[in-house]
């Protein structure tokens, strides 16, 4: 099996896009948290409290995953920077091993986040 390669500039651009998206998700979690607090204040039934606690835990975990992904991306950026420093000639044309696993992890995070958000919106529609 042949290892895929990409231009360093492509991977760098992808990293920048991912970091921007992760910041959006981080900000979105803050908005979702406010809606969760509003739902908790308006409805104190046992069932609602259980859902509030579940979503609170999910928000905490999503924040942790965002931080982990950001760290991985920044680590990979550091690796790319070291590659450039060791051979600065024709950097924009330099091919490096593609980060397929990182891309898959990022896309999986987005899928899981979107699913969690849809579930949360269904919950909000029932309690608000």
The kind and range of the H/E element at 63 are: helix 46-86
The pLDDT of residue 126 is 94
2 pLDDT band, cuts 50/70/90, is low
DSSP state of 92: G
Three-state secondary structure call for residue 111 = helix
* CA separation for the pair 102, 12 (Å, rounded): 13
| Whole-number pLDDT of residue 48 | 95
Cβ pair 76, 15 in contact under 8 A: yes
Per DSSP (E only), the strands in the chain are 5-7, 95-97
What is the pLDDT, as a whole number, of residue 62? 98
Angle at 57 between CA 121 and CA 75, to 5 degrees: 100
**Residue the block writes with tokens 């809606």:** 35
Specify the number of domains making up the chain.
1
pLDDT, tens digit, 9 for 90 and up, residues 10-29: 999 999 999 999 999 999 99
pLDDT in tens, 49-67: 999 999 999 999 999 999 9
* Predicted local confidence at residue 85, as pLDDT: 87
Q: Domain span at residue 102?
A: 5-127
Query: Could you read off the pLDDT of 84-125 as tens digits, one per residue?
Result: 888 877 776 778 899 999 999 999 999 999 999 999 999 999
DSSP, res 128 = -
- pTM value is 0.91
């Amino acid at each position: 099996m042949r290892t895929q390669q990409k231009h360093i500039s492509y991977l760098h651009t992808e990293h920048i896009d991912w970091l921007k998206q992760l910041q959006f998700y981080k900000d979105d979690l803050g908005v979702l948290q406010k809606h969760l607090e509003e739902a908790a204040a308006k409805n104190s039934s046992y069932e609602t409290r259980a859902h509030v606690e579940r979503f609170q835990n999910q928000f905490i975990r999503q924040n942790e995953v965002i931080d982990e992904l950001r760290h991985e991306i920044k680590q990979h950026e550091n690796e790319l920077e070291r590659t450039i420093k060791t051979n600065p000639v024709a950097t924009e044309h330099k091919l490096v091993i593609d980060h397929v696993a990182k891309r898959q992890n990022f896309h999986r995070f987005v899928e899981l986040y979107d699913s969690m958000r849809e579930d949360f919106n269904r919950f909000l529609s029932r309690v608000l």
